[in-house]
């Protein structure tokens, strides 16, 4: 049995990832590891922010740990909101404000191609590893659906006919960027 600290306090993410792990790993969120800090995300690359979070936790605990960082990258907006996805409309912005800003910037734009990208940074036995999951799709011109979070109401993954916010969690997981990155992480750990 291995324990792995996950640099988050988001219960949904912990539950989602623990459900993928199997019995060999126990995922420990920050609070349970006794860590109560706000980890900064100062960089303009998902990889660099994920690394910063993992290194911060490793330096505090000297235990195996991982972090993840996700962004919505829209081609017509040169990759924005990207690393700023959580705070696109301002430091304390909520999902509705972020969606409104995306939709207004996309008004009249034909190329609606976008992707969610998740980067995981793992520090295992003092070595650093990265894993990536990408979900390509299209930005809608209005909100559809009530499920999920973040930009789910305006994103339709390729191969689907409805937005993430019109899917169940299981349906979303068949496309999800985060699921793909986490699957790679645990494929790797499973081979150790
Ligand atoms: P985080 O790095 O996973 O916390 O994601 C940063 C931001 O990206 C979130 O605050 C959301 O706005 C957005 N985001 C991440 N994953 C998703 C998703 O699966 N659906 C919709 N929005 C997401």
Q: What is the pLDDT of residues 140-159, one digit of tens each?
A: 999 999 998 999 999 999 99
According to the model, what pLDDT value does residue 19 have? 75
Top mutation candidate among 10, 85, 89 for ligand 1, by most atoms within 8 Å of CB = 85
pLDDT of 120 > 80? The answer is: yes
Residue with tokens 């301002």: 90
9-18, 25-34, 154-163, 179-188: which is most confident = 154-163
Residue 12 has pLDDT above 80, yes or no: no
Q: What is the pLDDT of residues 59-72, one digit of tens each?
A: 999 999 999 999 99
For range 172-182, the mean pLDDT = 92
User: 167 or 10: which carries more pLDDT confidence?
Assistant: 167
- Over range 78-98, report the average pLDDT: 95
Structure tokens at 105: 């910037």
Distance CA(140)–CA(63), nearest Å, equals 42
Residue 105, number of CB atoms within 10 A of its CB: 16
- Report the pocket of ligand 1 as residue ranges, CB < 6 Å: 69-72, 85-86, 95, 116, 148-152, 164
Cα-Cα-Cα-Cα dihedral sign, residues 91, 93, 97, 98: positive
- In the predicted model, what is the mean pLDDT of the chain? 93
119: β partners: 69, 132
pTM across the whole model: 0.92
- The whole-number average pLDDT for the span 52-56 is 95
pLDDT at position 97: 98
DSSP state letters, 3-32: EEEES---HHHHHHHHHHH-TTEEEEETGG
User: Considering only the top CATH level, what class is 2-191?
Assistant: alpha beta
- Residue 69 among the catalytic residues: yes
């Amino acid at each position: 049995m291995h324990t792995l600290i996950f640099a988050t306090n988001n219960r949904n993410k912990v539950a989602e990832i623990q459900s993928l792990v199997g019995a060999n790993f126990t995922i420990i969120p920050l609070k349970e590891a006794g860590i109560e800090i706000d980890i900064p995300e100062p960089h303009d690359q998902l990889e660099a922010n994920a690394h910063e979070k993992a290194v911060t936790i490793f330096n505090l605990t000297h235990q195996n740990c991982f972090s993840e960082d996700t962004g919505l990258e829209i081609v017509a907006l040169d990759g924005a909101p990207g690393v700023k996805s959580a705070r696109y409309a301002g430091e304390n912005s909520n999902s509705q404000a972020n969606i409104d800003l995306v939709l207004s910037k996309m008004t009249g734009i034909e190329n609606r191609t976008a992707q969610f990208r998740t980067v995981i940074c793992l520090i295992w036995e003092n070595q650093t590893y990265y894993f990536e999951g990408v979900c390509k799709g299209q930005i809608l011109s209005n909100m559809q659906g009530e499920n999920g979070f973040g930009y789910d109401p305006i994103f339709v993954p390729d191969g689907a006919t409805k937005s993430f916010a019109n899917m169940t969690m299981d349906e979303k997981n068949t496309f999800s960027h985060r699921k793909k990155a986490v699957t790679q992480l645990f494929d790797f750990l499973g081979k150790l």
